[in-house]
A and B are shown apart, each in its own frame.
Chain A
């Protein structure tokens, strides 16, 4: 399975080779999409992980034991879908193709598996319906 997660590293944990462990110990194919280290050395990492479900579950357990918060992108990108008027303004800036309008019904849909957490939609939505927490 393929899924995108945001990992949040507490201060002092950003020096550990966590990604290496995920690859070597849990057999996960990793694509690093976005990374950030804050002023107090806390870190955020957006990863696409491709793995067997059992490996992915074990990896999440490992991250938990190491005090690293691992959440799926859907949980960190909040979109108040029921208030959307389907204008399409967000699709103008979503170069990752996560926000698209249906070819026939012109309804907006959000595909979290494509989101790169660039946060451009937050400012593009005229109704302010997006909230994204990459760095906590």
Chain B
């Protein structure tokens, strides 16, 4: 069986001979090409997603004032920011909300910093011999901080359940506003374009993989939190609900506000839309088969967000979800996405052009992501109300 190496592919890219397609283009191509033919013809496939990814945040270093302060209580634009990392380092959690305006939070600060806007900083400290200052009020922006980089613990979920609501009341969730009595169904992946659905066994994506992150070049830094390889798979090897995730890192100073958006979900809270693109080198026939996956071959589970534990109602597939309606128990139900396929396509095409233009190099992972992982829940110990 023939194979290719990443070095060979990068060599082809340098010579201007590499063929780079988006995952949607290669899915279309697979209608009349075998995996073996795709392996011969295609070198890299670009995947992308643009969706709400709450588990995101940014490390930032402000630099030292004179006299210096060991920031202990810190607010940026009235949003609490974690300052328990040394004197002037901080972590801005995307979902942290302002106490005075709950529709504004960490995500908005991250977006404002990327846009180059000034952000109000207020910090307090007890004062020490080496850091005598007890308070500071100033403004910061992308040009006057030392570093600011996104470090998102859980992004790019490999599949996600679709959501509906069987109760008699409208409910407001991170899966959008769900009408009563199964009046709608929302879903949140880019289907056949989604990164981890095109490399379900992590043959090419691993720690150190260079990725498109919000317009900059970032990296997969670790397996994401709640990384679960034990989810039931369909006949095509695709988990039928949320499974693995990625922790990703990238320089915010290089990011483009077009590909990162602060968001607010009614009665849920602040979140952030993150744009991620991942190139998959087509190294062998098995990878060629994986990147050819079509929406109809990717299943997900419809879950009832109106009930505790979100019990499963049925399974469906992304071709049906993207058609605009699905039928459950004879009832036709409107479906709607929450992640932007429009933006994901822009990212996949942008990444494709960057690879062709040699501004984005394909990488070999430094280490593979873990196998045979499970999720544990949080057991309630001691007294609880």
Binding site for B on A (CB under 8 A): 85-89, 91-93, 95, 101, 105-108, 120, 123-124, 126-128
Contact = CB atoms under 8 A, between A and B. Distances in A.
In the A-B complex, the 9 residue pairs with the closest CB atoms: A92-B336, A126-B263, A86-B342, A88-B337, A123-B266, A106-B341, A106-B342, A87-B340, A91-B336
Nearest to A124: B177
Contacts, number: 75
Given A89-B186, A89-B338, A92-B179, 15 more contacts: A85-B273, A86-B340, A87-B338, A88-B337, A89-B336, A92-B334, A92-B336, A92-B338, A93-B177, A95-B183, A101-B342, A106-B340, A124-B176, A126-B271, A127-B264
B241 interface: no
Contacts of B51: 87
Given A86-B343, A92-B184, A92-B186, A126 B334 contact: no
B194 to A, nearest CB: 14
Nearest to A83: B261
B49 to A, nearest CB: 12
Nearest to A120: B177
A126 B265 contact: yes
A126 B342 contact: no
Interface of B: 50-52, 103, 172, 176-179, 183-184, 186, 261, 263-266, 271, 273, 334-343, 345
A85 B172 CA distance: 20
Nearest to B183: A95
10 contacts: A87-B50, A87-B337, A92-B178, A101-B337, A108-B342, A126-B52, A126-B261, A126-B263, A127-B261, A127-B264
Nearest to A86: B342
Contacts of B342: 85-86, 101, 105-108
B338 A85 contact: no
Contacts of A91: 336
Nearest to A126: B263
B162 to A, nearest CB: 11
A127 B266 CA distance: 10
Contacts of A92: 176-179, 184, 186, 334-336, 338
A93 B184 contact: yes
B338 A93 contact: no
A107 to B, nearest CB: 5
Nearest to A103: B324
Contact of B338 (A88, A108, A120): A88
Contacts of A93: 176-177, 179, 184
Max chain A C-beta neighbours (<10 A), residue from B51, B177, B179, B339? B177
Contacts of B177: 89, 92-93, 120, 123-124
